[in-house]
Chain A
Amino acid sequence: MADAPQIPDETEVRARWGDFEWTPANAIKAKAYIARYPDGRQQSAVMALLDLAQRQVGAETHTQGWLPVPVIEYVAAELGMPFMRAYEVVTFYTMYNLAPVGRYHVQVCGTTPCMLRGSDDVLAACKNKGLIKGHTTPDGLFTLTEVECLGACANAPMVQINDDNYEDLDYDKTIAVLDALAAGEQPKIGPQIDRQTSCPEGGPTSLKEMVSENHDYRSAW
């Protein structure tokens, strides 16, 4: 994997994105992000600004957004930091896309807990829906990436699609989520089974009396 960065042709990208500027709304947001840090530490806002820029690019292209080189440079220049330092940040985090992605960026977690709970099935479902790792589907709808732990191990296996998590998946549920998205519907966000966030499936397994009312357990100690 360790290879030359796979980024789009620089000349083309510069021609398309060379005049990138904040939209008025985002300019206000950017200012607010920068203002969160003390004087001389404005560079700390780099991650927030890069994310904002990626979203703006996404809004312009009706995709999840990505960071063309001139946009990275625009953010770096705004914060007075060397381009290389901002570029390092962009390459470090999978949150930032170095190449264009589709409308839905499907990030399947393949780290150990998810793998043990069946992320292979999730990937198989994606594959059968025509998603190929590292590529965007021809209709420009889905981009599939296998990522490392996204911190929802209790709900493994899971995918993150754009800003939302879809958890407790199996093969069928993954297909259902992708189908719904492809049809322009919004599938249920979060666990795809009967549970609330990461609470136990089928209701509480401990402190059951607490469910309906406040219960004094002290006598049981």
Chain B
Amino acid sequence: MPKLTVDGVEIEVPAGATVLQACEMAGKEIPRFCYHERLSIAGNCRMCLVEVKPGPPKPQASCALPAAEGQEIRTDSLMVKKAREGVMEFLLINHPLDCPICDQGGECDLQDQSVAYGRGASRYDETKRAVTEKYMGPIVKTVMTRCIQCTRCVRFAEEVAGVPEIGAIYRGENMQITTYLEHAAKSELSGNVVDLCPVGALTAKPYAFEARPWELKKNFAIDVMDALGANIRLDSRGRQVLRALPRINDDVNEEWITDKTRHHVDGLVRRRLDKPYVRKDGKLVEATWADAFHAIAAVAATANGSVAAVAGDMLDCETMFAAKLLVQKLGGTMLEGRQTGLAYDVSSLAAVNFNTGIANIENADAILLINSNLRWEAPLINTRIRKAIKKGAKVFAVGPEFDLTYKVEWLGNDASLLGKLPDAVTEAFGKAERPAIIMGGGALAKDGAHGAALALAKSLNVVREGWNGFNVLHFAAARMGGLMLGYATDGGIKAVAAAKPKLLFALGADEVNYDLFSDSFKVFIGHHGDNGAHHADVILPGATYAEKAGTYVNLEGRVQRSEKAVFAPGDAREDWSILRALSDVLGATLPFDSFNAVRSEMAKAVPALGVEGLASYDWASPSLPTDATGEFASPIKDFYLTNAICRASPTMQRCSAELIQGEDFAEAAE
């Protein structure tokens, strides 16, 4: 623990800290461009210069200098001021003065630091360098003349995203950042380089020239594109969400989000259901709320308790709770959230939870993936596993092979392997102190695989004192919340269909095979005109996650709350209020009149949902059949089109066409 002084104040810093970190601990702001906490140190922008004694009598780059005992650091001396002014002046020599037409304007490190640390005027009157735009894919727009070559994007692509396709070619004044041969960067995390870029060289292509940061209203939300529950901020203007940005939460998403999370937002205003519809003579026609409600009431009157609800993948807990109460009041019991037909055992929630925890998985030292394409199912868990590998973890996998961006020992694609793992695996797990099994949601579809994995957990001893290494990786944001609220029927959705419910509430459920429910009267409460709406008999327009507050439980059982960012379009309403109004007409009035009342009722029914933070599930391993055979199949066909919102998003469609289908857009983008 070296002791040193920063501007005359003595502080003690942890061993291994850099001078820059020491200065920050002392409360001093050090300007920087290339340094980033989550990336390796490059030391090439020179903006973080400070004066350090003992040492050479010249300013030193604090980001790359280890803090040492007895150092005297000055951040306020004349030397430092002049050094910063000098660096700033050099950086601005080749930087264009195009802030008025630059998307980074208003949230630009270069602008801010130039105001704070720059000279105020340039002495440079030669011509400036210009660099042609580079093609980096459908997400990242480039204006490379603005680049100051901090190489944050290069380091991010290599270290975090694991796709070393961005690099710096040529040298000196001619150096330019580009992707390999200007092909699109094939990463589902590529949008993060836009956040990392300290200048306007890399900006978001779908958001280009849309808004200025100071006109945007910022609301904190939880992402529903996958089950990770990434913490995001929705920036909106008027009634439209214009962009989604990550919030820092080291327990969940660190400070990254996937491209899907970042750019599905243009889908929030397309293909929206903004009026109630009722099916008449086989055709959906616009209706009033009253007509729609009465059409439902007519069926409910004869349903006689034959009522079921199916929850979609992006639902908040409050909606599911309200619907559950309504179904129960109507005498029904059948609730299901696993739309695609999964029917795994839920007698122990711990057995279907990501028990190790998102942040903790990076401490695992042996990992077995079971039919889990982490890159598509939870890209931000994939980055955690990359970290684990850097620390020395070994990764084995059963299932169809994918490029997971790191070295995986593929054992084969046969479920029976779970019963007879090769010796190499058992040996690695035997030696491991923190072994982990990650079972993809798709693996749960295989009969016996869940039991086999649980048996493995026992035989490989992955659940031990202080470490639970058994993980199930869901990919629906509503899944864990739904399971806590009882949205699981024995036998899954097939059992619900077999019971032939007269009245079916489809709550944003777009992945269900509605052919199974041809005899049911289907009420779709949701926000997008997708599969669910096509098959509905009555459509009640609801709100997306951005248009309602809600509670979400992520795959590790973390209860998180999301705020409402904008109002739903047209006649669409928040889902709980639709259910409340409908319940009146059905004569089964729900016991709440405000959102807060729903929330507190829910907390009474399921106390864990009332407390933000990790819900605890007691570890119990149900005894299930363990003989699984046959090949696993990948549950996600297209990363960019997994739900109704992104299917409506032009950006996601473009990503899918270009990055998944391999269509060539390079020319269209010049």
Contacts and interface: CB of A to CB of B under 8 A. Distances in A.
A85 B157 CA distance: 12
A84 interface: yes
A92 interface: yes
Interface stretch (B159-167, B307-315, B384-392): B159-167
Interface stretch (A3-11, A56-64, A185-193): A3-11
Contacts of A83: 180
B290 interface: no
Contact of B181 (A2, A10, A88): A10
Given A2-B174, A3-B132, A87 B169 contact: yes
A84 B165 CA distance: 6
B280 interface: no
A91 B179 CA distance: 13
Interface in A74-105: 82-85, 87-88, 91-92
Interface string A2-33: 11110000100000000000000000000000
B214 interface: no
Nearest to B130: A2
B166 A2 contact: no
A43 to B, nearest CB: 12
A69 B181 contact: yes
B180 A91 contact: no
B171 interface: yes
A220 interface: no
Contacts of A85: 164, 167
Contact of A2 (B165, B167, B170): B170
B168 interface: yes
B132 A84 contact: no
B181 A1 contact: no
Contact of B169 (A1, A10, A69, A88): A88
Nearest to A88: B167
Given A2-B131, A69-B181, A82 B165 contact: yes
A166 B209 CA distance: 56
Interface in A139-172: none
Contacts of B180: 82-84, 87
Nearest to B179: A84
Contacts of B131: 2-3
B130 A88 contact: no
B165 A92 contact: no
A69 B181 CA distance: 9
Interface residues of B, number: 23
B176 interface: yes
Contacts of B182: 4
Contact of A88 (B129, B134, B168, B173): B168
Nearest to A83: B180
A1 B175 CA distance: 10
A101 to B, nearest CB: 18
> Which of the listed residues A3, A4, A84, A88 has the most CB atoms from chain B within 10 Å of its own CB?
A84
B173 A2 contact: yes
Given A10-B181, A69-B181, A84 B173 contact: no
A84 B174 contact: no
Nearest to A148: B172
A131 to B, nearest CB: 22
A69 B182 CA distance: 13
Nearest to A3: B132
Interface string B127-138: 001111010000
A149 to B, nearest CB: 13
Contact of B132 (A4, A10, A87, A92): A4
Contacts of B181: 10, 69, 87
A87 B167 contact: yes
A92 B176 CA distance: 11
A211 to B, nearest CB: 43
A92 B174 CA distance: 10
Contacts of A1: 173-174
A6 to B, nearest CB: 11
Interface string B549-571: 00000000000000000000000
Interface in B450-488: none
13 contacts: A2-B170, A2-B174, A3-B131, A4-B182, A5-B169, A69-B181, A84-B165, A84-B166, A84-B180, A85-B164, A85-B167, A92-B169, A92-B170
